[in-house]
Amino acid sequence: MAYETILYEQDGGVLTITLNRPDKLNAVTDTMLHELRDAFKQAKRDESVRAVILTGAGRGFCAGQDLASVKERDPSAGGFSYGEHLRHTYNPLILQMRELPKPIIAAVNGVAAGAGMSLALACDLRLAADTASFLQAFIKIGLVPDSGSTWFLQRLVGPTRAMELMLRGTRISAQEALDYGILNRVVPADSLMDEARALAAELAAAPTKAIGYIKRLADFAATHTLAETLEYEADMQELAGRTADHAEGLQAFLEKRAPTFQGR
Ligand code: T3D
């Protein structure tokens, strides 16, 4: 796929989406938001895509909303206000990522600020270069965390740490983010993409449908009671139990061989 602000590159079952405005630390423009939504739509539609990596070009992962373009918005001339902009752009993108029935790995190569950090938090797994950093930059310009940061962050790091990160906008290192529970792994910067591709390849060979159901279950469990979640687990297990990959997994176990999952 040819886009202006992102790269869309597939290798086997692994799709890599690269935010590609390196001179601006991949700050997010409306074009980028539109292209990301299109890319995730393609990723959902294309059965051959079974895992996605989200990363950034150059020295940054993503510096959040492009602030120069905010300055140019004029609601009195028919442009979006802040709330309208979020509702039309970031909010559907974040939901689209959570609802993608395939794993998304953030390969955080550099600074992730504001909505750029939210994008990383919306992924299913997060690897970061040891040179990466994270900040809830919103407060520094008098805004509030958005694009899901308030929801994701409290669940990942707990309310005490989340509140300090959001109130102070402190920039934390990859190691601190790992210690806080934001990251799955920190790796040397020059091996980040190899590690991300190896993990993505492993997940791309896994039972894709079950991964989609696990994503749904995890998000459901975060906001429902135990009784409701038990019921939803039963629903999802019903669906997983009908997949070809489950049949293959069961058969392979009984035949004492490695399974070959097709993502169906
Ligand atoms: O309605 C809505 O859309 C609301 C949505 C809001 C969502 C948000 O994300 S609000 C938060 C927006 N992001 C920020 O406030 C972060 C701003 N950037 C920074 O604080 C710093 O750049 C960083 C801490 C991320 C990195 O610092 P550093 O020293 O490594 O890099 P730098 O020199 O500041 O930036 C390098 C270039 O990127 C520079 O451009 P130049 O001068 O070389 O031409 C800088 O202006 C540009 N840049 C960085 N962040 C942004 C940006 N340009 C536009 N928008 C940015 N967010």
Regarding whether 26 and 140 lie in a shared domain, the answer is: yes
Task: Extract the tokens encoding 256.
Answer: 């004492």
Q: In terms of pLDDT, which residue wins out, 251 or 76?
A: 251
Residue 27 within a domain? yes
* CA distances for 54 relative to 92, 119, 226, angstroms: 17, 9, 32
Comparing CA positions, the residue from 239, 243, 125 lying closest to residue 184 is 125
Q: Which of 204, 222, 243 lies at the terminal end of a domain, its last residue? A: 204
Name every protein residue with a CB atom under 6 angstroms from any ligand 1 atom: 24-25, 27, 63-68, 82, 85-86, 111, 113-115, 137-138, 140-141, 143, 146
Overall average pLDDT of the 120-142 stretch? 98
Task: Extract the tokens encoding 82.
Answer: 């802040």
Regarding whether 234 and 137 lie in a shared domain, the answer is: no
8 Cα to the center of ligand 1, angstroms: 23
Percent of the chain at pLDDT > 90 equals 95
Q: How many CA atoms lie within 13 A of 233 on its CB side?
A: 10
Instruction: Output the furthest CA–CA distance in the chain (Å, rounded).
Output: 68
Regarding whether 194 and 72 lie in a shared domain, the answer is: yes
Q: List, for residues 63-91, the tens digit of each pLDDT value.
A: 999 999 988 888 778 788 999 999 999 99
Task: Extract the tokens encoding 17.
Answer: 């989406």
Residue 1 within a domain? no
Regarding whether 94 and 223 lie in a shared domain, the answer is: no
Residue 261 within a domain? no
The residue whose CA has the least distance to atom 1 of ligand 1 is 82
**Domain limits at 245?**
208-254
Q: List, for residues 5-22, the tens digit of each pLDDT value.
A: 999 999 999 999 999 999
CATH number at residue 225: 1.10.12
Regarding whether 155 and 231 lie in a shared domain, the answer is: no
Regarding whether 136 and 68 lie in a shared domain, the answer is: yes
The residue whose CA has the least distance to atom 38 of ligand 1 is 24
Q: List, for residues 140-150, the tens digit of each pLDDT value.
A: 999 999 999 99
Regarding whether 214 and 100 lie in a shared domain, the answer is: no
* CA distances for 22 relative to 7, 50, 66, 185, angstroms: 12, 27, 12, 24
Q: List, for residues 177-217, the tens digit of each pLDDT value.
A: 999 999 999 999 999 999 999 999 999 999 999 999 999 99
Number of domains observed in the structure of the chain: 2
pLDDT at 42: 98
Regarding whether 105 and 200 lie in a shared domain, the answer is: yes
pLDDT at 142: 98
Across the strands, what pairs with 166? none
Q: List, for residues 155-187, the tens digit of each pLDDT value.
A: 999 999 999 999 999 999 999 999 999 999 999
CA of 67, closest atom in ligand 1: 55
Regarding whether 224 and 190 lie in a shared domain, the answer is: no
Comparing CA positions, the residue from 206, 10, 192, 6 lying closest to residue 102 is 206
Quick one: pLDDT band at residue 235, thresholds 50, 70, 90?
Answer: very high
pLDDT at 71: 81
Q: In terms of pLDDT, which residue wins out, 107 or 81?
A: 107
CATH number at residue 134: 3.90.226.10
